[in-house]
Structure 1
Amino acid sequence: MSEQLPLDELDRRILSALQTDASHTNAELAELVHVSPPTCLRRVKQLTDSGVIQRQVAIVDPDKVGARLTAIVEITLDVQAAERMEEFEQLVAQEAAVLQCYRVTPGPDFVLMVQVADMPAYHELAHRLFTAHANVRNVKAYFSTHRAKFDTRIAV
């Protein structure tokens, strides 16, 4: 785990504004957070260099790009040795349809968030990642019927 960095009120305002809309120009962001553009630019650079801001992305509507099926998948491995856990993480990290992968406890070893076009696409992914993988003992999938909330903001 990495250490938590101290954030002042300006850092928090910048992070809140960027999490809402990262497409603002530096001048727009500076105006939103009530500082000069050079100060704003310097702070954003510090937040980026320190790893607080990992990257800036566009959030895409899955329905509009044909990725309509969301699956939450629990995976239990047969062997939980560190190297086997890392091997599984590397396998799923290479798969574009796996949006998130968490090592969890208690219960299954991993929980994955998967976004695919449809059930046949999920079955293909499941075969490739889980059935063909000799160390997967159990797979339990939940399929979303309605997304009540989706957010990427972290309270700062």
Structure 2
Amino acid sequence: MRQIDDIDRRIIAAVQENGKITTHELAERVGLSPSPCARRIRMLEDAGVIKGYTAIIDQKKVGLPVSAFASIKLERQREEDLDRFAQAVARWPEVADCYLMTGQRDYLMRIVARDLEAYEQFLKDKLTRLEGVASIETSFALGQVKRSEVLPLL
């Protein structure tokens, strides 16, 4: 893909702010006519820069007020163990985010749940049954200070 230029950055910033913006509105905002703007959007999508569009849902209002952060240590860090863990996590809808980490722990996950009992059930039925998990440490969020999907494209 070609380098991302200033117009691409403005397009990305605008769709990050409002994923429902029309091509016409976006074109006006970034100073292009609709056809070239649509081509640029398509190029950004085809290149994987824009990976998709989604709605940001208030997890409390849909009955999932609990955010648990679980630090996972595996018994071994072999490629097949890491792959098995990643494949399992990808199937679990309770896992909102999961990162492979450096440091003392191998993974950091954010799990959403309706209450502590639901998290406990997730832990017992899924996470602790996964082969190769050596330890799990969980912290619970008391509140959310900031959450953003908007990247600072300066």
TM-score bucket of the superposed structures, by smaller chain: over 0.9
Tell me the secondary structure at the aligned position of residue 19 of structure 1. helix
Counterpart residue type for residue 74 of structure 1: S
SS of the equivalent of 1:65 reads coil
Counterpart pick for 2:114 among 96, 102, 117: 117
> Unaligned stretches of 5+ in structure 2?
none
Offset from partner CA, 1:43-83 (integer Å, 9 cap, x none): 00000000100111011000110010011110001122110
Q: Which residue of 1 aligns with 2:88?
A: 91
Q: Establish whether residue 107 from structure 1 lines up as the match of residue 104 from structure 2.
A: yes
Match of 2:58 in 1: 61
For residues 4-47 of structure 1, give each alpha carbon's deviation from its aligned partner in whole angstroms, at most 9, with x where no partner exists.
96210000000000001110111111112121111110100000
Moved over 3 A (4+): none
- State the 1:128 CA deviation: 2.2
TM-score relative to the length of structure 2: 0.95
TM-score under structure 1 length normalisation:
0.94
Match of 1:24 among 5, 21, 27: 21
Residue 85 of structure 1 aligns with an amino acid whose one-letter code is L
Which of 11, 27, 31 lines up with 1:14 in the alignment?
11
Name structure 1 gaps, 5 residues minimum. none
Shift of 1:129: 2.5
Q: Which amino acid aligns with 1:13?
A: R
CA drift of 1:130 comes to 2.2
Share of identical aligned residues, percent?
33
**Which residue identity does 1:88 align to in structure 2?**
F
